[in-house]
Amino acid sequence: MTPTGGGWYFYNPNAISFGLNEFLKKWGNRKNEDNWRRSSKQLAISENPEEEEKIDSTLILAALQRDSLRALSNDKRKEAYLKAIPVSEESKKQSDDKIIEAYYNAGLIYKEQLNNPKEAAEDFETLLKRYPENKYKLATYYNLYRSYLTLKDSVKADYYKDILMSKYPDSEYSKIIMNPNYFKENQKKTAILQVFYENTFRAYQNGQYEAVIERKSQADSLFPPNALTPKFEFLKALAIGKTKPLPEFEASLKYVAAKYPKDSVSMRAQEILDFINKPNAKEVKQDSVKASVISKQPVVEFVYKQDTLHYVMIVFPNGMINANDLKGKISEFNNQYYNTSNYEISNAFLGNTQQFILVKTFNNDEEALDYYNALLESETVFEGIPISILSRFVITPSNMLLMMANNDSGTYEAFFKKNYLKTEN
């Protein structure tokens, strides 16, 4: 009988008891010592394959290594040990990094999984003592604060709290201490910001260029500098390119490229500038740039193929839909209407602001479109979801790779409507 029940193994007394009984049945009452699996402590591999499987390969390798070292003379053994000591700066750093990871992870395991704040605090404090400037420093301060709160040691808890609040007042950890609901509130603000950006992006796609410029100003007021600020600035530059003379377009692109050098929009702005400044490019109509202003590549060229594999894809803003819930509804839909097709359902992120759900694989465009239309007509799959935030389309694997590389579902959606649905919308 296999033990059942949720939770971690060591929190389940029934599972522990079962494991102990199984151990005693299989191994007997063994003494707690090295090489406990072998009744004879000499290293030997049984000729019986079943018995051989019982011997942990890691123990074998470790024993072989020890035996090989023991076989060396004292001088040779000393030489072997010395060679294993990290001496170069690179090897020392690698060794230190491993120790830092080990202490930090051990502290987390004691704190989060074993519910042992005392041991957790010891590992975290040892980490800070040995490596005071390690990459987990702020997280370690916070974990020590939480561990000592659990231990009801207010003196030490306040000590680490004061370090965070006085030296790192703008850190996420200080904000969490000041406001326990910080993460929930921040996630809500992030979701609102993402929707605002998505709607601004759609306004650009719909040719509402003045609205894009206005929404950029609104974003500056509503959302202080944030992760999407460079992208709002880039959209504004593109809208200027549609409504203002070329010199103003160039100036706005140069501002984006210079202001946000570490963001991807800088590269994309520079690509457009390079295109504009090619010999004779000034003679080309400004609208000729429109194929390149959204994508990372100068031109996105999707290919319409009918007799090839297709997927059905649903794209939506982060934070607006529970992807697992939607996948569950699609799975129920498939079980009810396509139970012999074995379609696969997966989900992933598309850039920083969107997610998608993928249903695959369809043999051709006709099969995919039949499923696409049936899915749209379902009364339950998209129940309660604002349809305006969804992009739904049929796509080939090659077009999907191109779309993801350019992080641009909007351009592909227009391509899909024109080629698959035979509309110009």
- Pairing mode of beta strands 391-395, 354-362: unpaired
3-state helix, strand, coil in the chain (%, to 5): 60, 5, 30
The structure tokens 């739904």 sit at: 392
| Pairwise CA distance, residues 203 & 196, whole Å | 11
Please tell me if the domain spanning 89-178 has the same topology as the one spanning 310-419: no
Q: Give start and end residues of each alpha helix (H) in 71-88.
A: 74-83
| Pairwise CA distance, residues 168 & 295, whole Å | 39
What per-residue confidence (pLDDT) applies to 184?
66
| Pairwise CA distance, residues 405 & 408, whole Å | 8
What per-residue confidence (pLDDT) applies to 96?
87
Of the CA atoms within 13 Å of residue 255, those in its CB half-sphere come to: 16
- Pairing mode of beta strands 391-395, 344-350: unpaired
What per-residue confidence (pLDDT) applies to 6?
44
- Record the tokens describing residue 284, joined without a space: 């080309």
Q: What's CA 209's distance to the chain center, in Å?
A: 33
What per-residue confidence (pLDDT) applies to 297?
36
Q: What's CA 131's distance to the chain center, in Å?
A: 28
Element (H, E) at 350: strand 344-350
Distances (CA, A) of 102 to 10, 85, 87, 126, 284: 21, 18, 20, 11, 60
What per-residue confidence (pLDDT) applies to 219?
82
- Structurally, at CATH architecture level, domain 310-419 sits in 2-Layer Sandwich (3.30)
| Pairwise CA distance, residues 214 & 230, whole Å | 16
What per-residue confidence (pLDDT) applies to 264?
77
3-state secondary structure at position 225: coil
Taking the C-alpha atoms of 161, 165, 167 and 169 in order, what is their torsion angle to the nearest 10 degrees? 140
| Pairwise CA distance, residues 250 & 231, whole Å | 17
- Structurally, at CATH architecture level, domain 191-289 sits in Alpha Horseshoe (1.25)
**Which is the CATH superfamily of the domain at 89-178?**
Tetratricopeptide repeat domain (1.25.40.10)
Residues forming beta bridges with residue 360, ordered by sequence position: 344
Q: How is the chain split into domains, by residue range?
A: 1-30, 38-74, 89-178, 191-289, 310-419
3-state secondary structure at position 56: coil
- Record the tokens describing residue 343, joined without a space: 């379609």
- Using an 8 Å Cβ cutoff, are 202 and 192 in contact? no
What per-residue confidence (pLDDT) applies to 287?
47
What per-residue confidence (pLDDT) applies to 272?
83
Report mean pLDDT in 10-residue bins for the chain, 425 residues. 46 53 57 54 41 44 54 65 76 86 86 86 93 89 92 93 90 81 68 79 82 85 79 89 85 90 83 72 44 40 86 87 88 88 86 85 92 91 85 89 76 89 70
Give the chain's largest Cα–Cα span. Answer: 89
What per-residue confidence (pLDDT) applies to 25?
53
| Pairwise CA distance, residues 410 & 11, whole Å | 49
What per-residue confidence (pLDDT) applies to 204?
83
Which string of b and e fits 93-111 if b means at least 16 CB within 10 Å? eeeeeeebeebbebbbebb
